[in-house]
Structure formats: C-alpha cells, structure tokens
Structure 1
Amino acid sequence: MAGRLEALWFLALVCGVVVSQDVSQLETHLSHLTQVRHPGVPHNTREAARSYIMDQMSQYGLTLHHHTFNTTIVTNSIPQTIQGQNIIGISEGSGGADDTLIVVGADYDTGLGRHPLEDNGAGVAVMLEAARNYMDAIDPTGDFTAKGTMIFVAFDLNTREYGGSAGQPGSYHFLHRWLWPYLNQDSSKLKGVFILDSISRFNHEARSQYLPPGFEETFPEAYEHISGEEMKGNFLAAFTRNSTTSHHLVEALNSNYLKERKARLVRLEELILRNGARINTDVLSMFNHQAHLPFWTFNPTGKPTPLPAILITDTDVYRKPIDSEVCTDPCSADKFLTRRRRVAMTISTSALTHTLLNLQASRRSHGGTGNTGSSGGDTALKLYSIASSPYVPDEAAQD
C-alpha cells in the first residue's frame, strides 16, 4: 500500500508540473475552437480559428504557407463555389539526400450539426501541441536536431462531411496542388501522413463501441481484439492500408502509446485494410469521409499511387459517449476537458511528439543545455518523464 501511495505521489509530482502545462496549452487551443466553423454560419468563426492557428504556427517558428483553393458546397439544395484556405507550417530537415517528409494534419472546419470540439477541435489542438513540442525539442537550445522535414497542416472545408457536396475537400487540394509539387512529384520522399480526426471520445463501459455488420470480415484482427475487450470504446483506431511503410508508421506510434499506457486510458488499435479485403458500404462509411482518403486514392497520372496515410480516430458516432461527458452548447474548453479527456489528449500529444522525434530527429550528443525554462529541450525532457512515470490505476482517471 505504501509503495502504491508513493507511486501515486510521484506521479502527482511529475504530472502536476508536466501534464498540467500541456493541459493548459490544450485548453487554450480548444478555447479558440468552441464554435461551429462552417461556411454557412453567419459569424466569422472559421476565419477566427484560421487566424489563431496561423498565429500559433508562427510563434512556434514554423515557416507559414497559406494554400487557397476553390471548391463547391451545397446550401439549401443550391451548389455554390466557395474559397477555402489550408494553413501549412513547415520545419525544414537537413536538406540532404536522406531528408524525408512527414505530414501531420487535422481538419479545422466543422460540419453543420456537429460538436465543434469533437469535430475537430480536439484533433487541431493535439496537432498544434505536437508541433509546439517538436519545435521546442529541435530548438538550438534543445536536445534534438532535425533530420527530416515536418509539415503540420490544418485543412479547410472537409466537404465530405457537408452532405450533397460535389466539391473536393481541402485535403485533396493540399495534396494535389501543394504537396505533390513540393515533393517534385516524387512519392519516395514522403515517409508518411498522420491524420487526426475526432480523437476525444473514450468509453470504458462494455458494449460502448459499435462495429457495423461486416466489420469482422474487413478487419478480422481488430475485431478479435475489440470483441475480446467486451466492445469497450477504450482505444483510438489507426486505419491504414496494407503496406510495409504504413505498418511501420503505426508500429512507431503504437510503441509510444504503449509507454503511455501506464495510465491505462488509451490504446491504439491498428485496422489494416488488406488488399482484396471484403468491404461493404456500412464498414466503408467509418472511414470514407476523413482527410486521409485523398492520400489513399491518389492518382496523379492515371496510375494509382496510394500514399502512406494513417487515420487516427475514436470512430466518432460509432462510439457511445459517456453521459457525464456530454458537453452541450455552449460548451467551454474547461467543461469539455474532463479528467478523462485531459489525460487521454495529453497522452496522445506525448505519443505523437515522441514518434515525430523518433522518425525525424536525432538526439544531440551533448544532451542539450540543461536549461530549466519552459522552452528549448525542456519540453521534450518533460514528455519523456511522463513516459517513464509509474502506473496509474483506472480509478485515478475518473471524474
């Protein structure tokens, strides 16, 4: 008993300094994303979110690009052309022959009738925090040196969630009109893409996770794991195509979630869409409207060129929310960030940051400057201290 209390005291000591800092940043991000960000909304909520994201990326030291595009949405059965803007932040790598690129992306708009923090404020917040932590870590005073290039992108106008729209979403335009030219039309330079879309809903109750008919045929391994856990919604799904590169990306991310699972709140479940797998429209509807799809179906010259993209999601409407965590309008960032969500989103931020540093950076041999401020390598060291902190029982994360 004394050992357990000591472990909990140590975790409280570490998390009181470390996790609260990340939660404070996450809450700040979410506070700028509490309103519906749809072009049909009379207020300039999309524009305000866009300005905030641009400001944050600039503060982190990322090179900022604005990618403007036109697409079509349908309002009151009337198609109309509308302008969107993807926000892109770049951290250049070494520039050498082995300089590869990883993209982390999240939609920042909202479908009508959707919860603005679930769709997709939480995804944007974690993306921004991963960007901040990564840039802190590779700062000249930090503990890492960038090897590869990192691109963080907030996509506008996910028309696939608007209903009746004939236009292509922002992620499609980003890939075809911006990223492909940036890569000089060389897919070998792209190491992979992580897409964050609806990542804040967790439920540890049995039968809280719905799987559509036919899921067991399309994703047999995942079905076995999820059913073995009594259909609990206690995981983030990583939808991926069946390729060595994609599997390597999921493994890299999952290894960092496993470190964080001392908190026993979040696990990563890989859902591999194997070549020739049987799939029906019910199953397809789980993952046919998010920002990864243009990467999977990329066909620039008449020859299919699927790119390694991983969709990270809580499965959204396929998971029953916990009654006590339903945050109705008006929903503040503080009210939305229940203890469960705070811990889960912090773990996701940390795991993603670790993964990006593992894949795109190398630790400096001098071990950093050893500063104790809130910038530079200190953030990375704090994140690593979370990963090595002791076990937290489930009840410690309850409200």
Structure 2
Amino acid sequence: MVQTAKALNATLRGYFSDTRHHVTNSTYKKRARDFIVSQFQEFGLQPQEHKFVVNQYEFYNIIGILNGTRVGTVDDKLVGVGTHYDTVADTKGVDDNGSGMAAMLYVAKQLTDENKRGVKRNNTVLFIAFDHEEAGLIGSKQIISGWLNPWLARTYGTAARQLVPYGMIVLDTIMGYNLTANSQSIPSPQAIESTFQTVYRNVQSDNRRGDFLLNIYRKDADRALGEAFTRAWQALSHPRFELEVFPLPISSLTQLMEPYLTFYQPFLRSDHRNLWLDNIPAIFLTDSADYRGAMQVCYHSQCDNVETMLTEDNLMFLSKTTDAIYQTINSLSEPSEPATSGCHLITSLWYLIVVLVVTIAARYFILFQ
C-alpha cells in the first residue's frame, strides 16, 4: 500500500490538483485529458476519444480498451472502471474527482504491466474517463449511445445483445477518511436505519466516524460485481479502513416515485446512474462526499485541494481502495500465467538431466572408494 500511495500522490499532485473546467480552467483540463490519453497509450490500452458538444463547448470521454481472449464473442464478460475527470468551476477537485482518476490509472497500469510480461485475460477490460459529469452526468449519458453501443455492435455483432457483462466499477470522491467522532453525516437517518440496519448499527456504534468506503449496488442486478469487490476488500490488510455495503432493494430507476426517489438520491449521484438507466451492471464506490469530514465544507469548493486532502490517512485509505479495485478487476478478467516457452522448457530438461547424471556419478564414486 505504501508504494501505491506514493504513485497516487504523484499523479494527484501532477495532473489532478487544479480546476478542470471547460470555462474557468480549460488549459489545465486539457493537460489532464492529454495525460490520461498518454497514459492509456503507454499502457497499450488502444485509447479512443469520444467527442460530444454541449452549448458549443467540446467535451471528451476517454476510453482505454484491454482486449481479452474472448473479445468479439458472446462469452466475453466485460468488466471495467469508470470515473469522471472534470470539476465544477471553482474547485481544485483533488477528492472530487482526482482521487477516482488516480485510482483508475494505477489499476490500469498494474493490469497492463502483467499483460506485458505475458499474462492473458479471458475477459475484456474497459477504462473510461467521463467528461462533463458535474453538469448533470452528461458525459456518461452521451457515451452510451455515442460510443458504447456502436462499439459493441462493431466488436460483437449480433452477439452484443446476448452479452452478460460483470459491469463497471464507478469511482467518485473516494479518498476522504476521518476518525473524528460524528464526522459522518447520515441523510434520512430513520429511512437508512430501516433499510440498511447493519450499516446503520455499524456507523452508530463507531460514533459516526467517517472511516469507511461505501460500496453501493442494486442487490440483484449488480450482485456479482458488488460481492466480488467486497471479497477483495476483506482479503486486504489494514482493517482500520472499513467497508460498508449498500445493496439497494431496487431494480429499475424508472420505477422510482416519491418519496423513494428522494430517499435514494444520495446513492445516485454519479455516472453509474446512467448505466443503471440503460440496464448496465455497475457498482458505485464513494467516501460519501459532502456527508463526511472536511468535504462537508470543501465539496465543490476551493478547499478540496492538495493542502486539505493529501494527508497520510487519506492517501492510505485511497491506496486500499485502489488495491481492492485492482484485485477485483484482475480476478474477474480471468487471467492466466504465460505458458513456459519451448526454449525455457528445453533448458529446464537439460538442467534436470545434468543434475541426475551428477547425482548418479557421485553415488558410484562413494560406493567404489
């Protein structure tokens, strides 16, 4: 985790420490976008840019593709990570959402490093950096019809309709950690208590400390991905960084009516909402944003910056989250170790023969002394 924390810290300070908004700081936003593209290229991820226009401004979703051996077939269980890189007009956006971007890029690097040494993956992995999330989740809405569905049709043909993907891990504001009592706010506490009794008891018994990551998913549609991430988290060390799981008892967002729509709104505040509306499996990982600690003041404000957010605890919390995401994607992509090459096999056989001959000769020498 220490190595992960160092890498995340460098990425955040270098490319996601200032405003990334198309009006107030378009230059730094382009710098961040160019960095994402260059990283995808370096990783060998076949980067693609999906351009869309809103009110005469150009926006770009960025996609990196790591093909599995099943790509183009109905058996390909696609899995991926998605996170937005833009900010509102007047924030530095280190937690929201530099943290998600740094985590995704590090996971992509880890996976592709293994592929470069010969690891093969059965299932295709997608990495998506969403643009224009802060103006109403526009980027993720645009990408489904403008890039994802056409790409699926080109790549899988008629099999695209039969795919059963694991889905996307969506990251948004994931590095806020606070051990202070009562640092965690709970929206609609009575409704939370009745719907998620275990979570409510855990948080209350811990004096409402903001020491956990939220794993949010629809308990049926996204169960496989949600439970895979939970297993990965629990297998890691550093138990002081906790996980609370929210399996939402809903299947279709279009059926949500008041008062339920208001109750579920805090769970729908990022790009996974558009994925769910299109019936794409997804889980949402977050630190709860403006419901916790410093972000209760700094959310969408100037103090979501390097000085406030890049503490040792926050970086280690983000590191555990990143490592759990890597373990989840690595497992679900079904990797296989590279086969031993013929040259290595021959070398190994000759080595065994030499060892055997030397051993026999030594025994005979001892017997006839």
1:63 counterpart SS class? coil
Greater alpha carbon shift after TM alignment, 277-286 vs 36-45? 277-286
2:247 and 2:286 mapped to 1: Cα distance? Answer: 14
2:187 counterpart SS class? coil
2:271 aligned partner: 291
Q: Does the aligned pair in 2 maintain the 1:180–1:186 contact within 8 Å?
A: no
1:84 and 1:109 mapped to 2: Cα distance? Answer: 10
1:268 aligned partner: 243
1:110 counterpart SS class? coil
1:51 and 1:135 mapped to 2: Cα distance? Answer: 19
2:267 counterpart SS class? coil
Structure 2: which amino acid aligns with 1:173? Q
1:230 counterpart SS class? coil
Are residue 22 (structure 1) and residue 4 (structure 2) matched? yes
Identity, in percent, stands at 27
1:330 Cα shift?
A: 9.4
Summarize the alignment of residues 207-286 of structure 1 with structure 2, pairs less than 5 Å apart. 207-213=182-188, 214-243=191-220, 245-260=221-236, 262-275=237-250, 280=260, 282-286=262-266
1:319 aligned partner: 292
1:295 and 1:187 mapped to 2: Cα distance? Answer: 17
Distance change >3 Å, CA 25–CA 42, structure 1 → 2: closer
1:284 Cα shift?
A: 3.1
Are residue 180 (structure 1) and residue 149 (structure 2) matched? yes
1:22-63 deviation per Cα after TM superposition (whole angstroms, max 9, x unaligned): 233212221211111112204412111100110111111111
1:256 Cα shift?
A: 1.5
Distance change >3 Å, CA 367–CA 205, structure 1 → 2: farther
1:389 aligned partner: none
1:138 counterpart SS class? helix
Distance change >3 Å, CA 233–CA 272, structure 1 → 2: same
2:48 and 2:235 mapped to 1: Cα distance? Answer: 34
**TM-score, with structure 2 as normaliser:** 0.79
Work out the number of aligned pairs and report it: 323
Are residue 155 (structure 1) and residue 98 (structure 2) matched? no
Are residue 100 (structure 1) and residue 77 (structure 2) matched? yes
Counterpart of 1:54 (choices 37, 45, 61) is: 37
Summarize the alignment of residues 74-153 of structure 1 with structure 2, pairs less than 5 Å apart. 80-95=55-70, 96-139=73-116, 141-142=117-118, 144-153=119-128
1:237-281 deviation per Cα after TM superposition (whole angstroms, max 9, x unaligned): 1111121x5122121111121122x31232222112203898545
2:174 aligned partner: 199
Greater alpha carbon shift after TM alignment, 117-126 vs 172-181? 172-181
1:20 and 1:221 mapped to 2: Cα distance? Answer: 31
1:54 and 1:179 mapped to 2: Cα distance? Answer: 18
1:248 and 1:120 mapped to 2: Cα distance? Answer: 26
1:199 Cα shift?
A: 0.2
1:87 counterpart SS class? strand
Counterpart of 2:280 (choices 303, 307, 329) is: 307
1:307 Cα shift?
A: 1.9
Q: Which runs of 5+ in 2 are unaligned?
A: 154-159, 342-369
Q: Does the aligned pair in 1 maintain the 2:107–2:325 contact within 8 Å?
A: yes
Distance change >3 Å, CA 293–CA 322, structure 1 → 2: closer
RMSD of aligned residue pairs (Cα, Å) = 2.8
1:204 and 1:367 mapped to 2: Cα distance? Answer: 49
1:1-31 deviation per Cα after TM superposition (whole angstroms, max 9, x unaligned): xxxxxxxxxxxxxxxxxx4432332122212
1:394 aligned partner: none
**TM-score, with structure 1 as normaliser:** 0.74
Structure 1: which amino acid aligns with 2:42? Q
1:123-159 deviation per Cα after TM superposition (whole angstroms, max 9, x unaligned): 00000000000111222x25x321100010100001x
1:163-190 deviation per Cα after TM superposition (whole angstroms, max 9, x unaligned): xx6xx61011112221122223526342
Greater alpha carbon shift after TM alignment, 112-121 vs 183-192? 183-192
| Structure holding more helix per residue | 2
Q: Which runs of 5+ in 1 are unaligned?
A: 1-18, 72-79, 299-305, 369-399
2:277 and 2:32 mapped to 1: Cα distance? Answer: 29
Distance change >3 Å, CA 328–CA 171, structure 1 → 2: closer
2:321 aligned partner: 348
Structure 1: which amino acid aligns with 2:49? H
Structure 1: which amino acid aligns with 2:81? V
1:55 counterpart SS class? helix
Q: Does the aligned pair in 1 maintain the 2:111–2:326 contact within 8 Å?
A: yes
Distance change >3 Å, CA 145–CA 233, structure 1 → 2: same
2:162 and 2:27 mapped to 1: Cα distance? Answer: 37
1:340 Cα shift?
A: 0.7
2:309 and 2:339 mapped to 1: Cα distance? Answer: 41
1:264 and 1:47 mapped to 2: Cα distance? Answer: 38
